[in-house]
Amino acid sequence: MPDVLLVENREAVRILTMNRPDKLNALNSELTAELLKGLEAARDDDSVRAVVVTGAGRAFCAGADTSEFATLTSDNPEAVFQRADLSRRLHVAFPTLGKPIVAAARGHAVGGGAGLCLASDLVVASPTLKLGYPETKHGIVGAIVMTGLVRQLGPKKAFELVALGEPLTAQQAQSLGLINRLVPDEGLLNEAVALATRLASIDPVAMRATKELFYKVMELPYDEAMIAGRDANIAMRGYRSSKK
């Protein structure tokens, strides 16, 4: 059986490719766990300064693998909890990883796949992208992905997406600020790697501090966010002085 996650290094950029193309890279437990391990390994490897996450074949990720749902029922509460918590830990890993993550997304990025796409720090997409949260159409809830979506998009549009379950085109997603670059499909991965390479060239301490502060101030009240900014300012001045 092929590996469900492919790992490739291009200098200081690590590429993590979800590799279940026949299932549109749907997230079963194995792929979810391997992607989490891949992110943690990139975090712990000093030679890696940026990460690209993408999907093999014609899709980024079609969300949860529904074939597992038959065993995830109220009759098996421990399995339900473990699977849900694995998804939570994967989504938390994206903003808390101290290195920038670029998504290279084409085709379907729906449900959990849309969540991973938007959890990335930057998104490079092809015109084939279809991004959405169709869970309500299947009688379930876009639960774990909702936190990131509301923070990035705001309540009105985010509610429309999770309630109606209708996907966005790549152009619509870009107009809402959910995509950073829209590039021809054939150049998608190279463009994402080029962007990640630029990020990798930045001082890693400054990049880590920037990412940590960015996600912290997203969630804090204004005054507390300003205090966090002040403290980061002081810490980085000390860091710069120590380099001289």
Q: Is the dihedral of CA 105, 109, 113, 119 positive or negative?
A: positive
Please tell me which residue in 68, 78, 135, 160 is annotated as part of the active site. Answer: 135
Q: Are strands 130-132 and 168-169 parallel, antiparallel or unpaired?
A: antiparallel
How many C-beta atoms lie closer than 10 Å to residue 208's C-beta?
16
Sheet strands side by side (includes 122-125) = 5-10, 13-18, 50-55, 101-105, 122-125, 181-182
Please indicate whether residue 135 is annotated as part of the active site. Answer: yes
Supply 168's token pair: 């966005």
Question: Distances in Å between the alpha carbon of 161 and those of 58, 88, 96, 133, 172?
Answer: 23, 20, 25, 6, 12
Supply 199's token pair: 């990020």
Residues across the chain: 244
The alpha-carbon radius of gyration of the chain (Å, integer) is: 18
Active site residues: 135
